[in-house]
Amino acid sequence: MNLLRFFVQHHTEVLEGTGEHLWLVGWSTLFAALIGVPLGILIAHRSRLDRPVLATANIIQTIPSLALFGFLLPVPWLGDRADRLAILALTLYALLPIIRNTYAGIRGVDAAVVEAGRGMGLTQSQLLLQVELPLALSVILSGVRIAMVISVGLATIAAAIGAGGLGEFIFRGLAMVDNRVILAGAIPAAVLALLADFGMGWIEKRLRPR
């Protein structure tokens, strides 16, 4: 009950935090998709590049998030605004699942179907847009879905460098040793993660080729 009252009293702040959180997650997932999908397609077609690219994305994933935020802080233009920096860091983390799934999705398209398409005289781009991407779409989208859910969680750390978001409540609550404040950040974050998962899952199902 205490918690509920806290939510009612601070609902504007919680909503604001949720908005900031969505801002960070939305942009970073979008940027990661804009970079990761083409990169995944490229390495699926040029098999020499697949190992180095996937290895790099893997290494990025192993950097602790707090450390990555810290690393980027002194970078001139980036460090000016905390949300800019947070979006970049979150984008980097979101790359791996998107690149990996795009790569796996394109590679997983039946070779006989691709060869039939080439044999019929489809150009490289027609083959990609009409055959490979539609058939790989659900795998690619599940990569975006994973990236988004990871981002929702990681974005709470962005509060440590002052980028706002629901992490603000969590850090403040930790400092104040007040569970209500922690939960005011953690519960909406969990709900966001579930909604992102559910929403992307729904889109994925709608677009799945029969």
Partner 1 sequence: MIEFRDVSYGVNGIQVLSGLNLRVAHGEILVLLGRSGSGKTTTLKLVNRLVSPSSGQILVNGVPNDQVDVIRLRRGIGYVIQEAGLFPHFTVERNIGLVPKIEGWPEERIRARVQEMLQLVGLTPDLASRYPHQLSGGQRQRVGVARGLAADPAILLMDEPFGALDPLTRDELQREFLQLQQRVHKTVAFVTHDLREALRLGSRIALMEAGKLVTVLTPHEFLKSSDPWASAYVRAFGDGLESAANRGTS
Name which position in 16, 42, 45, 134 contacts partner 1 (CB under 8 A). 134
Min dist CB 210 to partner 1, Å, is 5
Q: Which DSSP string corresponds to 74-130?
A: TSHHHHHSHHHHHHHHHHHHHHHHHHHHHHHHHHTS-HHHHHHHHHTT--HHHIIII
Looking from the CA of 35 toward its CB, the CA atoms found within 13 Å total: 17
Query: Judged by CB under 8 A, does residue 129 bind partner 1?
Result: no
| φ, ψ dihedrals at 80, nearest 5° | -60, -40
Min dist CB 119 to partner 1, Å, is 4
Min dist CB 125 to partner 1, Å, is 11
8 A C-beta contact, residue 14 and residue 3: no
Query: Judged by CB under 8 A, does residue 64 bind partner 1?
Result: no
Query: Judged by CB under 8 A, does residue 210 bind partner 1?
Result: yes
Ranges within 85-114 binding partner 1 (CB under 8 A): 110, 112-113
Query: Judged by CB under 8 A, does residue 123 bind partner 1?
Result: yes
| Number of shown-chain residues binding partner 1 (CB under 8 A) | 19
Torsion of CA 60, 100, 37, 45, to 10 degrees: 120
Q: Which residues bind partner 1 (CB under 8 A)?
A: 110, 112-113, 115-123, 126, 130-131, 134-135, 209-210
